Amino acid sequence: MKASIALTAIAALAAKVYAVPPSCFSLKLGYPCCSNASTPSVYEDSDGKWGVENGNWCGIPEQVKVCWSEKLGYPCCTSTSVSVFEDNDGKWGIENGNWCGIINGPTPTPTPTPKTTPNPEPTIDPTQYKINGNPFKGVDFYLNPYYVEEVENALNNLIDSSLRSKVEKMKTFSNAIWLDTINNMQSWLEPNLKGALAQHQSTGKDVLTVFVVYDLPGRDCHALASNGELLANDADAQRYKTEYIDVIESHLKQYTAQPVVLIIEPDSLANMVTNLDDPHCSQSESYYMDGHAYLLKKFGVLDHVAMYLDIGHAFWLGWDDNREKAAKLYKKVIDSASPGKVRGFVDNVANYTPWEDPTLSRGPDTDWNPCPDEKRYLEAVKKDFTSAGIKSVYFVSDTSRNGHKTDRKHPGEWCNQTGVGVGARPQASPVSGMDYLDAFYWIKPLGESDGTSDESAVRFDGYCGHDTAMKPAPEAGQWFQAHFEQGVENANPPL
């Protein structure tokens, strides 16, 4: 098992609650029972097997054949037999994003070392972590347990079995956790903050967790494939503040000992730069601006939190006039949120534009875009935003799906592109000479669909029916096995 998986698994399992061990032979001899049947046997006599815990002898209870994980506060696995992690208690799987015990029973650890019982819950640490500079630097990256489960399921359904070893590696890389509905935020925010804290307390290292804040009223200007649950009206704008942003803030204020990065509302402000002639965008404008000001004031004063505003990608805002408009708009948004601070900006979220493509230049093939790849785009944005008076201009670039040049007929095509390849691995300060590039990071998980190719579906978007879009494709956010496998196969650098 990769060390990074083991550490994260240890962190997640630190929340296990150990039940009172069953009765055993040693009680009548004046010795306690060991905590479970998997405690290593140090000595065996006619009475039974003996172990050592906390420096004292204990009797090892007989192996329990029932679902052992239930007494630890976790359910049995019902649909998976794939072991993600193994400890002295047994083999653990993941179902519905939660740990479960594989019901074939625990597997004892052969090394006869005393068991150390973890804390039932990570102790909430009142320490105030303060981000100074690049939040991705000098920390461990937290693994998204939901994505680990998705990859485990993908392993069970491989179309191309030769990819197995490469797919296994996908579980070892960090990616962002999307808070894309109020319900998902309630289900995913605190458990993963707690998991990162438990990992910190288990390993002694600072652990960075990355979340995507993505639930604005009128999200994506009510785009067909990616519109959200909240509409562009006053009532839903109030829900956004009280049921979504305020709840996120309350959890962030509780878990202050570890760094957190927030990716703020992909596509939203970029739409305000270029698409206000669309009625859905114009109806959303005031809610986008007010929503950003509200959340930036809330989150931007938290010392352990760094925020990055989405700036689309090179073939959205790369042209000179679009960058000029963007600089003015983003300056206005940031100024409206004082004293809240923004670390910087994020590009290429869920997109396929290569980081660097020397084959492209400003000309008819690129609609005269002077920034035909993300590297040149960020270089230009850095200059323009700095000139506009924005004080903190740092970047995170999403490299989850841009490692291989896709089959797009035009770089603006975005839906489930054929030829996809996972790109550069999550890494802090990845490019020499670009000290303003904080990180490459996987924000949109490879394998999750951009949108359905079913033309009869309510959420069908024409781009998902283009010749270069892989088909058949499921609804946005659902697992797309064929797309995932192609992305693994075309990984650059190779897996």
Provide the annotated active-site residues.
267, 450
Within a domain: 3: no
Q: Do 55 and 73 lie in a common domain?
A: no
Within a domain: 8: no
Q: Do 92 and 158 lie in a common domain?
A: no
Q: Do 367 and 397 lie in a common domain?
A: yes
The token pair at 279 is 């009625």
Within a domain: 122: no
Q: Do 445 and 324 lie in a common domain?
A: yes
Annotated binding site: 178, 180, 313, 316, 351, 414, 444, 448
pLDDT at residue number 21: 37
Cα–Cα dist 454/149, whole Å: 26
CA-atom Rg of the chain in angstroms:
25
Determine contact, residues 148/169, Cβ cutoff 8 Å: no
pLDDT at residue number 86: 66
pLDDT at residue number 353: 95
Residue 157 neighbours by CB distance under 10 Å: 10
Residue 457: which CATH number?
A: 3.20.20.40
Within a domain: 412: yes
Write the secondary structure of the chain as one string of H (helix), E (strand) and C (coil): CCHHHHHHHHHHHCCCCCCCCCCCHHHHHCCCECCCCCCCCCEECCCCEEEEECCEEEECCCCCCCCHHHHHCCCECCCCCCCCEECCCCEEEEECCEEEECCCCCCCCCCCCCCCCCCCCCCCCCCCCCCCCCCCCCCEECCCHHHHHHHHHHHHCCCCHHHHHHHHHHCCCCECEEECCHHHHHHHHHHHHHHHHHHHHHHCCCEEEEEEECCCCCHHHHCCCCCCCCCCCHHHHHHHHHHHHHHHHHHHHHCCCCCEEEEECCCHHHHHHHCCCCHHHHHHHHHHHHHHHHHHHHHCCCCCEEEEEECCCHHHHCCHHHHHHHHHHHHHHHHHCCCCCCCEEEECCCCCCCCCCCCCCCCHHHCCCCCCCHHHHHHHHHHHHHHCCCCCCEEEEECCCCCCCCCCCCCCCCCCECCCCCCCCCEECCCCCCCCEEEEEECCCCCECCCCCCCCCCCCCHHHHCCCECCCCCCCCCECHHHHHHHHHCCCCCC
Within a domain: 123: no
Q: Do 85 and 181 lie in a common domain?
A: no
Q: Do 87 and 192 lie in a common domain?
A: no
Q: What is the dihedral of CA 266, 272, 277, 283, to 10 degrees?
A: 80
Q: Do 79 and 55 lie in a common domain?
A: no
Within a domain: 357: yes
Residue 53: which CATH number?
A: 3.90.1220.10
Q: How does pLDDT run along the chain (495 residues), one tens digit per residue?
A: 223 333 333 333 333 222 333 457 888 777 788 887 777 776 777 778 877 777 677 888 875 445 777 777 678 887 777 666 666 777 877 776 667 788 764 433 333 333 333 334 678 888 999 999 999 999 999 999 999 999 999 999 999 999 999 999 999 999 999 999 999 999 999 999 999 998 999 889 999 999 999 999 999 887 777 788 999 999 999 999 999 999 999 999 999 999 999 999 999 999 999 999 999 899 999 999 999 999 999 999 999 999 999 999 999 999 999 999 999 999 999 999 999 999 999 999 999 999 999 998 888 888 999 999 999 999 999 999 999 999 999 999 999 999 999 998 888 899 999 999 999 999 999 999 999 999 999 999 999 999 999 999 998 999 999 999 999 999 999 999 999 999 999 999 999
Annotated binding site for substrate: 178, 180, 313, 316, 351, 414, 444, 448
Q: Do 35 and 89 lie in a common domain?
A: no
Q: How many domains are contained in the chain?
A: 3
Q: Do 312 and 259 lie in a common domain?
A: yes
Within a domain: 10: no
Q: Do 317 and 464 lie in a common domain?
A: yes
- The residue segments making up the domain with residue 180 are 140-490
What pTM was estimated for this model as a whole?
0.78
Within a domain: 193: yes
Q: Which of 101, 121, 156 is the last residue of a domain?
A: 101
Cα–Cα dist 376/82, whole Å: 43
Q: Do 203 and 306 lie in a common domain?
A: yes
Cα–Cα dist 449/166, whole Å: 20
Q: Do 222 and 272 lie in a common domain?
A: yes
